[in-house]
Amino acid sequence: MAMPETVTVSAPAKLNLALSVGRPDENGMHPVCSWMVTVNLFDELEVKRLEADYFSRYAVIWHAEAKRRSEINWPITSDLAVRAHLALEDRVRRRLPLQMKLEKRIPVGGGLGGGSSNAAAMLIAVNELFELGLSVEELAEIGEGLGADVPFLVCGGSAIVEGLGERLQHHDECPDLHAVLVFPDALCPTGEVYSAFDQIESGGLQADAVRRLPDSPLQAETLFNDLKDAAIRVTPTLKRELQRVSELAERPVCVSGSGSSIFIVCDEPLHAEALAAAIESKLDLPAVAVKAVGAKGGQIS
């Protein structure tokens, strides 16, 4: 069978249902323990194989359905999907010329792992496109050098993620999660949030508290994020948006990752759809209903 000419992979957003953060090590890196799940808000990555003597070319654009857009102004060689392609070329020690089109729905810098998911999607796509035969474990190993969330996003689904993202305990099934994602007009740069976290007293890494959560019914009241207060300190307007959304939803609102995206756990799909519509119409905030989805490997087309 001939190698495929084009491969498309859907790159899902991730939510931190729980996130505990430890104090930085001697290298300034913060160990974490997080319960992560992927949800059905996708960026779309299309890669086309080019002739052996062609140079690779890359395009990153906003999808027509994107709810929160920002300027795509970063150097293309710093894009995580492009870096994943270059890392694979280094791994197999040959050029893998391709054309990439990345259409983004996931907000940039929103704590939803969009860039990391794009990198994981690229690893999966190029492995398929050029029939490299690398295992999921090998792709995850390459992903460790790209970002802490990449190894998890190579598989997606639901997992406890520990250390610097390299220790994973995958779950056989995703939780029955229905939620609304809300995208405030606020920036929470990850480095600044972690710096602010270091200035706040904390109880240290609560790994056991995170590990216990998937064994119990999913309840918004039990979810937590150690970076929430730090994100608010960096971006004070986030506190106001959390309050507005919580008052309308009449339930707790959670922060994903280092922010600024926030989410509300809902009872069922219709509840999520209705709440997303209410947040958009009454609060003038972009919002979308989502549900947890399984492994990314099944989303190749």
Residues assigned a catalytic role: 14, 149
Angle at 124 (CA atoms; ends 93, 287), nearest 5 degrees: 135
Query: Per the structure block, which two tokens stand in for 128?
Result: 């398929």
Query: Per the structure block, which two tokens stand in for 192?
Result: 């600044």
| Cα–Cα distance for residue pair 24/39, rounded to 1 Å | 29
Query: For the chain, how are helix, strand and coil distributed in percent, rounded to 5?
Result: 35, 25, 40
Terminal-to-terminal C-alpha distance of the chain: 16
Contact 35, 16 (CB under 8 A): yes
User: Exposed/middle/buried for 195, CB within 10 Å: 0-12, 13-18, 19+?
Assistant: middle
In eight-state DSSP terms, residue 262 is E
Which stretches of the chain are DSSP H helices?
Answer: 80-92, 114-129, 136-144, 150-155, 190-198, 207-212, 228-234, 237-249, 269-283
In eight-state DSSP terms, residue 42 is E
| Cα–Cα distance for residue pair 159/153, rounded to 1 Å | 10
Backbone phi, then psi, for 291, in 5-degree steps?
A: -140, 160
Backbone phi, then psi, for 36, in 5-degree steps?
A: -110, 145
